[in-house]
Amino acid sequence: MKSIRLEEEWLEDMIPKGLPYPSSTLISGPGGTGKPLIGFAFIYDWLKNGGKVIFIALQYPESRFVRDALEKLYGIDMDDYKERVVYVQADFHIDDMETIDANNIKANLARPEIWDRVIEESEELMNGEDFQKGPGTMVFAAALNLLLFSPTYKEEQLIKLEELLRANDQRSYLFTVSTTLFKDEIEKLEEAADNLLFAEMGNDMEMSLRIERFSNQDVIVKEKDVPFAKELLVEIKEIAEHSRKKVIPSLKRI
């Protein structure tokens, strides 16, 4: 299995052989612990190594947070990668999906059958790039547990997410989930992923990462503190509050 080297020292210490591809990675842990920021560390190296990324925003009110966070953390200007990036904004008020422009799609991701079409359409938008170069496509989605609040689609959605985590022969997947609710359902996703990591945060907003398993190597350094600025962690918590107040009530009506 091929892999890309991880440049962040704290992450390289834990995963010295790099991120294997194609594979699926799940970052799990309590809500508001900054899991997407850990995901961005993988995304940074993915883009630097020629990969394409589909960002799926469930809890973010807009894609601006993704762009700003990557710039603050790694000094990366996402405009330099616009031909290899598509942002998918969740819109639970539309029936299907809508392509806005070459970098943006809106979709009702509460409906499980839409996921495959969203991913395929995103890759079509990036089709000008040579897919034979680099590690291929990474599908990044945070706070997938939110989708389980839909009473109509909960069971189907869980099956779909498990399917995506297991069907990684063509693409790589990087998902984050909160363990605050739906414990039994989240455990099924944890079992389905090739690579499983857990994030935690202390009372002083000190963040740590623990590796449960990683598909291409024996884990030596299993737990490590993550050096993220406090203001970014505060911002993550504020976004989690936005989800609770706006996204969850919407999903409960679907």
Beta strand 85-90 with 104-107 is parallel
Domain covering 2-252, topology: Rossmann fold (3.40.50)
Q: What gap in Å lies between CA 211 and CA 223, rounded to an integer?
A: 6
Beta strand 85-90 with 172-178 is unpaired
pTM, rounded to two decimals:
0.93
Q: What is the pLDDT along the chain (254 residues), one digit of tens a residue?
A: 799 999 999 999 999 999 999 999 999 998 878 898 899 999 999 999 999 999 997 877 667 778 888 888 888 899 999 999 999 999 999 999 999 999 999 999 999 999 999 999 999 999 865 555 789 999 999 999 999 999 999 999 999 999 999 987 889 999 999 998 899 999 999 999 999 999 998 877 888 999 999 987 787 778 999 888 777 777 777 776 777 777 888 888 88
**Residue spans per domain, the chain:** 2-252
